[in-house]
Amino acid sequence: MFRYQVLIEYIGTNFVGWQIQSKGKSIQKEIQVRLSKLLKEKVILLGSGRTDAGVHAIEQSAHFDCKKEIQNLDKLLKSINHFINDKGISVLAIKKKKSKISCTTFC
């Protein structure tokens, strides 16, 4: 597994907050759905914290794990922003991190 950190900014006015809720649009879901489509695997995006409805963020940190190593982080960054910028969300950076997850342990 490969771990990636994402730094995100958003205008939260039209969202129920960071975390996926049963009703309403969330930042986490918007990004997670798009990452899953772009990477062609189910991605779970985990935030470093939560925000309430209507709250904005300047540089919120989150991470996700995926099975394949991403070869071109700049291309992924541009692709995801193409789909989410019109929603008031921007991914500022995607950084590969050292993951301590071993597939022999968890997979």
Segment 70-94, tens digit of pLDDT: 999 999 999 999 999 999 999 999 9
Pairing of strands 89-97, 2-10: antiparallel
Would you say 10 and 88 are in contact if contact means Cβ atoms under 8 Å apart? yes
**How high is the pLDDT of residue 54?**
82
| Domains (range + CATH), the chain | 2-100 (3.30.70.580)
Closest by CA position to 66, among listed 93, 45, 81: 45
Beta bridge pairs of residue 8: 60, 91
Segment 5-21, tens digit of pLDDT: 999 999 999 999 999 99
27: Cβ–Cβ under 8 A, 6 or more apart, which residues? 8, 10, 12, 15, 17, 18, 51, 57, 89
Of all residues in the chain, what percent carry a pLDDT higher than 90? 83
Question: Catalytic amino acids?
Answer: 52
- Put simply, whether the predicted model's pTM sits higher than 0.95 gets the answer no
